[in-house]
């Protein structure tokens, strides 16, 4: 056969098993009488093998296939918590405090996991593969979490100022006592808001007091979880309630709050011993569970950093 030599593209298609039959026969006929092209065939075979090896080096670690996603959005990763520093901190604090307060008052988790981490649950969780099971949880989330700040238009302004003051206090770690009656309390009394809002509004005045690290350790019976190599402030709401809040400031505008109870009691909303990392997307603020630890992130933190952070905590 005296046709021109085969080109690399044909050789690769041939070696990939993608050359149409007729062309493959022609190519083989040529190879049969052309040692140069046979040599190139072997070169390209080695090249394909080498490229495959390299790509394999850059393969993700093998993991179980998670359950089939039931709806769009379920599997959607949370957007990185992006709170530009210029966003009024008061608003942020209002939402944060309202959520936290609602959670403690009710003695229930403030938010049902909207998108439980499928990896952790993959081996044993069959419920989540059924789409309809998730709907009620999502509704709970919608009712409980986001409207906290907005449900009280008349108290909103007051809440902002109080919350801002409290937040500053929390971050600075000082223990300045709050006024006994806050503007928000007054607003709430003057005009009782609808029930869910009331549950959220009242405890806005609740404060976390800074406690010595040793005290936190005694409360939990173990060393409180924290991010290594970062200053941490331990706080509690009351001596009776065995919840330790560890606050750590990652950067200006980014605060991590770790809520922890003694191991035997588990994280609120979590079965004891569930070593799962659950995450809950609350507007732009992230709350995740690592074991029995509730992690709240406030401020800008991209997903990559978040994963690293959670690894560190674990």
Partner 1 sequence: MPEDLAEIYRSTFPALVRFLYRKVWDVERAEDLAQEAFARAVVHKPESVRGWLFVVAANMARDDARRAARERRHLTLLTSEPASAPAVDEAVHAEAERSRVRTALEQLTPRDREVLLLWDAGLSYDEIATQTGLARGAVGTTLARARRRLVEAFAAGERDEHIARG
By CB under 8 A, name the binding residues for partner 1: 7-14, 16, 18-19, 44, 47-48, 50-52, 54-55, 57-63, 65-66, 68-77, 80, 82, 118-119, 227-229, 250-251, 254, 300-305, 307-309, 311-312
User: With respect to partner 1, which residue has the nearer C-beta, 129 or 161?
Assistant: 129
The CB-of-99 to partner 1 minimum distance in angstroms stands at 23
Please choose, from the candidates 98, 79, 97, 76, the residue with its C-alpha nearest in 3D space to the C-alpha of residue 255. Answer: 97
The CB-of-37 to partner 1 minimum distance in angstroms stands at 14
Angle at 300 between CA 299 and CA 303, to 5 degrees: 125
Please choose, from the candidates 256, 270, 234, the residue with its C-alpha nearest in 3D space to the C-alpha of residue 305. Answer: 256
Q: Are 81 and 297 in contact (CB under 8 A)?
A: yes
Contacting residues for 58 by C-beta, under 8 A, at least 6 apart: none
What are 256's strand-pairing partners? 248, 297
Q: Is 250 exposed, middle or buried (0-12, 13-18, 19+ CB in 10 A)?
A: middle
The CB-of-146 to partner 1 minimum distance in angstroms stands at 22
The CB-of-68 to partner 1 minimum distance in angstroms stands at 5
The CB-of-6 to partner 1 minimum distance in angstroms stands at 10
Neighbour-count burial for 150-172, b at 16+ CB within 10 Å, e otherwise: ebbeebbebbbebbbbbbebbbe
The CB-of-107 to partner 1 minimum distance in angstroms stands at 32
User: With respect to partner 1, which residue has the nearer C-beta, 46 or 272?
Assistant: 46
Sign of CA dihedral 259, 263, 269, 275: positive
The CB-of-300 to partner 1 minimum distance in angstroms stands at 6
User: With respect to partner 1, which residue has the nearer C-beta, 22 or 65?
Assistant: 65
User: With respect to partner 1, which residue has the nearer C-beta, 8 or 154?
Assistant: 8
Q: Are 234 and 175 in contact (CB under 8 A)?
A: no
Q: Is 11 exposed, middle or buried (0-12, 13-18, 19+ CB in 10 A)?
A: buried
Tokens linked to 130: 């059924």
User: With respect to partner 1, which residue has the nearer C-beta, 7 or 265?
Assistant: 7
User: With respect to partner 1, which residue has the nearer C-beta, 192 or 231?
Assistant: 231
Tokens linked to 199: 């549950």
User: With respect to partner 1, which residue has the nearer C-beta, 161 or 254?
Assistant: 254
The CB-of-62 to partner 1 minimum distance in angstroms stands at 8
User: With respect to partner 1, which residue has the nearer C-beta, 21 or 180?
Assistant: 21
């Amino acid at each position: 056969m005296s046709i021109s030599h085969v080109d690399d593209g044909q050789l690769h298609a041939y070696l990939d098993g993608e050359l149409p039959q007729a062309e493959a026969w022609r190519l083989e006929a040529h190879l049969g009488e052309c040692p140069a092209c046979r040599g190139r065939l072997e070169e390209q075979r080695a090249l394909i093998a080498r490229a495959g090896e390299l790509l394999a080096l850059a393969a993700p670690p093998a993991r179980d296939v998670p359950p089939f996603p039931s709806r769009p959005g379920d599997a959607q990763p949370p957007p990185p918590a992006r709170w530009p520093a210029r966003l009024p901190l008061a608003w942020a604090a209002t939402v944060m405090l309202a959520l936290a307060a609602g959670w403690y008052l009710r003695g229930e988790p403030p938010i049902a996991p909207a998108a439980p981490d499928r990896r952790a649950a993959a081996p044993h969780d069959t419920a989540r593969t059924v789409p309809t099971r998730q709907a009620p949880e999502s509704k709970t989330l919608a009712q409980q979490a986001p409207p906290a700040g907005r449900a009280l238009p008349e108290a909103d302004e007051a809440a902002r100022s109080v919350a801002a003051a409290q937040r500053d206090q929390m971050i600075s770690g000082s223990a300045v006592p709050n006024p006994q009656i806050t503007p928000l309390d007054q607003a709430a009394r003057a005009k009782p808001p609808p029930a869910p809002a009331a549950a959220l509004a009242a405890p806005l005045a609740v404060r976390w007091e800074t406690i010595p690290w040793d005290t936190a350790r005694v409360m939990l019976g173990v060393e409180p979880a924290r991010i290594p190599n970062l200053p941490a402030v331990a706080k509690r709401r009351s001596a009776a309630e065995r919840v330790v809040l560890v606050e750590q400031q990652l950067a200006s505008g980014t605060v991590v709050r770790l809520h922890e109870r003694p191991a035997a009691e588990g994280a609120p909303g979590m079965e004891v011993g569930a070593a799962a990392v659950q995450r809950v997307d609350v507007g732009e603020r992230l709350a995740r569970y690592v074991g029995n630890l509730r992690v709240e992130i406030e401020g800008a933190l991209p997903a990559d950093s978040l994963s690293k952070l959670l690894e560190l905590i674990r």
